[in-house]
Structure 1
Amino acid sequence: MSQLVADDSQPHGPQQRHTSLYTDLSRTVRELGMLRRRRGYYWTRIGLVTAAFAGVWVGVGLLGNSWLQLLMAGALALVLTQVAFLSHDGAHRQIFTSNAWNDWTARLLGGVLAGMSAAWWRAKHSRHHAAPNQLDRDPDIGPGVVAFTPDAVARRNGLGTWLAQRQGWFFFPLLTLEGLNLYVASLRHLLRRTATMVERIEAAIVLARLGGYLTVLLILLPVGKAGAFLGLQFAVFGICLGGSFAPNHKGMPLVPATMKLDFLRRQVLMSRNIRGGVMIDFALGGLNYQIEHHLFPSMPRPTLKKVQPIVREYCELHDVKYTEVGLVESYRIVIDYLNNVGLRARDPFQCPLVTQYRN
């Protein structure tokens, strides 16, 4: 039997009704206990990832001066992707009930193992969650090498315009540089003059981790092999991490900077789920349940799959479009959108609620 029932006691004006939508869904999810922490799950994953990280470095030490170290570089990148997912979960406070425990788990996983700043990630990612795909508010569609909006394409000319019209084909090769970009952006945030005391502590952790990483590589390997190891690790890390975020919002509707939407529609209409099984869940770190993650950002990762049928049914009940596609199809959509961002969707997304509000 369905868990969801339309609440006729709620106000019937469009603004009040739309505002109450998320409240009703959130109450149902909370009453079902789906926001309870899954500490056993997370302690197990943290233990396995830490052991895998240590195992890679044992392998690096045993191999010594060999080009087979490139296999270890790839393995390290895959492990660091899983570390980044766990740090992301900690930053969203999905792991523990204590905010401090979550924050320091994110910092230590991100800083000690991955060599990146959780504080920088949280600041950037929180703005994205607050306004996904909203112009001038979502940093993930802001100005950069790739133009994600028609306005960004319009500001280019000559070679820039030519590249923008073909950028979809360059998107995945560019992801090989995303790992390096993440490290640079992380350090810039931590080393700014206005950094807090906690961020300065985090900066010391990150710098020690990166410095130790380079030192170990240069001790074990000649400069050329060390550089190849580092380059491959950054490239694979960038592809894995960037490839897990790209399908979630790229090619979904854009929202004008001044438009106001109720919370449920703001999160659901701009997000895309990726269909798949256990391997997709693992490879994308649970971010394939992007709609559910945006609606309940502090929900433990393994619960997202369980809440999905409830969210999907609720969206269907209230005529809110729920988007879910396969992984290959999602990448096709991203590539097609990026290649045509300057030709299509010249006008930002026009929310169907506008007419109702005006009436």
Structure 2
Amino acid sequence: MPTPQRTTTRPAPSDPAAAGSDFARLSRRIAAAGLLDRRPGYYAVRSGLVLAAYAGGWWGVLALGDSWWQLALAAALSVVFVQVALLSHDLAHRQVFGKRLPSEIGGRIAANLLMGMSYGWWMAKHTRHHANPNHEERDPDVAPDIVVWSQRQARQADGVARFIGARLAFLFVPLLLLEGLNLSYNSFRALRGPAVKRPWLEGALLVAHFAGYFGLVFAAMPAGKAVAFLAVHQALLGLYLGCVFAPNHKGMLMVTPEMKLDFLRRQVLTSRNVRSNLLTDSLMGGLNYQIEHHLFPNMPTPALGRAARITREFCAEQGIPYYQTGLLRSYREIFGHLHRTGEPLRADH
């Protein structure tokens, strides 16, 4: 279990940036270093590379035609789609543009049109997650459904959730293979709810995406290969997304209603950083700096590494546990947590 699980905390101020708070002092150091400044050159290059890969991938599908090598292209396009999702994530947090309108336009193009996921639905869900990460009752990412995330939730589970919860460590990866389909399903479902402010626009973009997606695949290859292409692409898309997002919080402190955490500790203690190298920085799009991203969600990706050094030093000064580990170790911790989560259910058998 990571050390932050055992940390005691102190009451939260009403404003995370309240004058004199620990977070305010850290924020002044971050701002003085210029780490919240926009990086237009970085995002121009990154967006250009992602769009080129996206267009090149689909050109390859049409050019290759009737071949089982299309499954390799399906795998490659799953990587490209996740990079599109990571770019839409940065747009949603206004890391690319400082203003709301260009951020929303770019976000809807990336998420709805290019990836097939509702920007409005995801943004509303993700905003709630950022406000209360790993909170058992307030974070939608750990809300019990067919999957439970804590022993408390496991004890209250029934039906399918009870069956899966007892075996979650073994079923987690198979469930991730369905995450791409789950995102598409929830995106269309959300069009009828209050989270999506422009449902007709988002719906039209989603329909345009899937019309082009299915149209290109079935135009390029026979039906059998097309179905295989779609299965591989969607399965690996979901798996890759899970491998990017799971290390951020799974297995870290689960917050219960009786806990009182100030903003800084709520974000630091519930988040895990994955040690930086060229591979993790590229594959995770900067989300391996999860602590800094949660503290400063509008910070551009290339500034996160330097921010991590400042934040780590500040937390050491304040006696706040700051947790960072390697990518493979993070997965071992996640599966260990999932196995422990199911203990109350296995004890009943």
TM-score by length of structure 2 reads 0.90
- Which of structures 1 and 2 has the larger relative contact order (alpha carbons within 8 angstroms, sep 6+)? 2
Q: Does 1:69 align with 2:70?
A: yes
User: What amino acid sits opposite 2:34 in the alignment?
Assistant: G
Q: CA deviation at 1:165?
A: 2.9
Q: CA deviation at 1:157?
A: 5.3
* Offset, 1:267: 0.2
Gaps of at least 5 residues in structure 2 are 1-9, 345-349
Could you tell me how far apart the structure 2 residues matched to 1:226 and 1:275 are? 38
Q: What's the CA shift for 1:18?
A: 11
Structure 1 residue identity aligned to 2:225: K
Q: How does 1:84-123 map to 2 (within 5 A)?
A: 84-123=85-124
Distance 2:141 2:226 in 1: 32
Moved more, 165-174 or 287-296: 165-174
2-side partners of 1:304 and 1:194: how far apart? 33
What does residue 312 of structure 1 align with? 312
Tell me the residue number matched to 1:325: 325
Compared CA separation, residues 89 and 193, structure 1 to 2 (3 A) = closer
**Change beyond 3 A, Cα 1:96–1:163:** closer
- Deviation readout 1:67-114 (Å, 9 max, x if unpaired): 111111111111011000000000001001222111211111112211
Contact between 1:18 and 1:262, CA under 8 Å: does it hold in 2?
no
Output the CA distance in 2 between the equivalents of 1:26 and 1:245.
25
Q: CA RMSD in A?
A: 2.0
Alignment partner of 2:97: what SS? coil
Equivalent residue, structure 2, for 1:239 = 239
The one-letter amino acid of 1:104's match is: I
1:133-157 Cα offsets, whole Å, 9 max, x none, are 1121001111123210213211235
What is the TM-score normalised by the length of structure 1?
Answer: 0.87
| Structure 1 residue 59 corresponds to structure 2 residue 76 | no
* 1:131-210 equivalent positions in 2, closer than 5 A: 131-156=132-157, 161=162, 163-190=164-191, 192=192, 194=194, 198-210=198-210
Match of 1:229 in 2: 229
Work out the CA distance in 2 between the residues paired with 1:26 and 1:149.
32
The corresponding residue for 2:274 is 274
**Amino acid aligned to 1:167:** L
Report the Cα offset of residue 258 of structure 1: 4.5
Deviations 1:220-247 (A, max 9, x none): 2222111111111111110111110101
| Cα distance in 2 between the residues matched to 1:196 and 1:163 | 31
Q: Is the 8 A contact 1:19 1:263 kept in 2?
A: no
Q: Percent identity?
A: 47
Which residue identity does 2:135 align to in structure 1?
Q
Corresponding residue SS for 1:61: helix
Letter in 1 for 2:49: L
Aligned to 1:79: 80
Task: Return structure 1 stretches of 4+ with deviation > 6 angstroms.
Answer: 13-19
- What is the Cα deviation at residue 305 of structure 1? 0.7
The number of aligned residues is 331
Give 1 or 2 for the bigger CA radius of gyration. Answer: 1
